[in-house]
Amino acid sequence: MSASDLSDTTPAAFGRIGAAASRASLSEVHASIHVPKDGTWFRRFLAFVGPGYMISVGYMDPGNWATDIAGGAQFGYTLLSVILLSNLMAILLQALAARLGIATGRDLAQACRAHYSRPVGFMLWLACEAAIIACDLAEVIGTAIALKLLFGIPLLAGALLTAADAVLVLLLMNRGFRYLEAFVIALLTIIALCFIAQMVAAQPPVAAVLSGFIPSREVVTNPAMLYIAIGIIGATVMPHNLYLHSSIVQTRDYPRTEPGRREAIRFAVADSTIALMLALFINAAILIVAAVAFHETGRTDVAEIEQAHELLSPLLGFGLASTLFAVALLASGLNSTVTATLAGQIVMEGFLHLRIPNWARRLITRLLAIVPVIVVTWIYGEKGTAELLIFSQVVLSMQLPFAVIPLVSFVTNRRIMGNLVAPRWLALPAWLIAGVIVVLNIKLLIDTFSGIGGLSH
């Protein structure tokens, strides 16, 4: 590859660089999934189904649960409108991530390396690594809590057991990317079925639920409600998901021509939009079940996952409710493992051009998450892990603007995207969302560190 290729920023150059085996994002699975060249549009669409469900995991991981539980327990169905709004933001941003990866042949990390100076790129890499470790921290805590609730395994032992998932991910990756996607979709199905059963048991009032999706002025005028609303919106979009999505859409073997890329963008966006509607259902279901079980019975103080698990069955009058809740939490924690592993590999290779074995990368990341959990649990007890979970979400929140702003700036730049640049009707709301996320994250951080509200996402 010549020096001129490295300095050229036209879409054609992106394709040349992205297609090279040494530069392709996730090169071991790059363009490995066959896309039919003929047949119905539905057959071709099915070939693109998968990446959307993998990124949807980040929108229902253990880090989301505490905010949804607290929101439902304290304010009933009112914050459903905020969950809907944050999900619409996520749909748009993930669509932009898919557009970047397909149009340029580069993932977001590779694009940052190509267009920013080395110091800026290095700082973005550090921020992203901190976010991935924070995400892994939430997974360790959530999975350990689920193991304790289901099997009585102490929290420390459960945290140590989560290190074994590195082997699971490695085995699935060796079988092929479709096996990894199937594993994720299977666990998502388990989560959905668990919450469908709980929703049936809860029998929420349909009129009240539907009215909750209508924005209320109280969300802004009530400081406590506004704080939780900011938590839901400010950290709903997981920063590593933007890096992940821009990479894994390239696992499809679509024609690397402008018409082929246009069709790939349409199918990839449809895939992620449908999958994120599932994430909307899960988050809404958590809040609705909390509203029925806690808000309507006067237990508005419920905010922690273990507390919710303990009270769910007695208050709903459904013996399996607590068990299903814990099973869904375990599935959520295991699923998040897959996406964090891939995101870590994508970020390290994209920013640094550094390749280390997947098992070593996973083990290093997981150990960096396990150590704080062990130390905090040892010193402060299990109450400390709940606060650590909140802190991990604050770290994620801090990193989000450093992923969103580069993404939006790339996809709205015709010099980078060529004819596949985001149209103006898409660019304007994208910049608006980026601005809203920055403002909300600044307020969330100020409130968190000044001790206001007592809960963040």
> What would the pLDDT profile of 63-95 be if each residue is shown by its tens digit?
778 778 888 999 999 999 999 998 999 999 999
Contact between 375 and 137 under an 8 Å Cβ cutoff? The reply is: no
Domain assignment present for 183: yes
Q: Is the dihedral of CA 231, 394, 63, 53 positive or negative?
A: positive
- Enter the tokens of residue 195: 């919450």
pLDDT band at residue 270 under the 50/70/90 scheme: very high
**pLDDT at position 307:** 83
Range of the domain at 26: 3-449
Q: CA of 190: how far to CAs of 3, 6, 85, 284, 295, in Å?
A: 50, 45, 25, 16, 26
pLDDT at 362: 66
Would 456 be classed as within a structural domain? Answer: no
User: In the prediction, which pLDDT does 438 show?
Assistant: 80
pLDDT at 3 over 80: no
The residues pairing with 33 across neighbouring beta strands, listed in sequence order, are 252
**CATH classification of the domain holding 278:** 1.20.1740.10
- The two three-digit tokens of residue 105, written as one number: 């042949």
CB contact burial 68-106 (16+ within 10 A = b; e otherwise): bbbbbbbbbbbbbbbbbbbbebbbbbbbbbbbbbbbbbb
Number of domains in the chain: 1
Contact present, 353 and 181 (Cβ < 8 Å): no
Identify the weakest region by mean pLDDT among 28-32, 105-109, 291-295, 375-379.
Answer: 375-379
Identify whether 314 is part of a domain.
Answer: yes
End-to-end CA distance of the chain: give it in Å, rounded.
Answer: 44
Evaluate whether residue 455 is within a structural domain. Answer: no
pLDDT higher than threshold 60 for residue 155? yes
Residue 451: pLDDT band with limits 50, 70, 90:
low
Please report whether residue 457 resides in a domain: no
Residue identified by tokens 């070939």 is: 47
* Cα–Cα dist 450/453, whole Å: 9
What value does the mean pLDDT take over residues 300-322? Answer: 83
Question: What pLDDT is recorded for position 222?
Answer: 84
Q: Which of 2-6, 250-254, 329-333, 362-366 has the lowest mean pLDDT?
A: 2-6
pLDDT per position as a tens digit, 335-385: 887 787 788 888 888 998 877 776 776 677 667 767 777 777 777 666 677
For residue 88, being part of any structural domain is answered with yes
Confidence label for 20 from pLDDT (cuts 50, 70 and 90): very low
Contacts of 50 (CB under 8 A, 6+ apart): 33, 177, 178, 181, 185, 248, 271
* Range with the poorest average pLDDT among 33-47, 116-130, 383-397: 383-397
C-alpha distances out from residue 120 to 124, 126, 127, 401, 402, Å: 6, 10, 11, 14, 11
Number of CB atoms found within 10 A of residue 218's CB: 12
Evaluate if residue 11 carries a pLDDT over 50: no
The two structure tokens encoding residue 433: 């969302």
C-alpha–C-alpha distance, residues 410 and 106, integer Å = 11
**Binning pLDDT at 50, 70 and 90, where does residue 425 land?**
very high
The C-alpha torsion from 85 through 87 and 88 to 92, rounded to 10°, is 140
Q: Is residue 454 part of a domain?
A: no
Average pLDDT rounded to a whole number, residues 155-173: 78
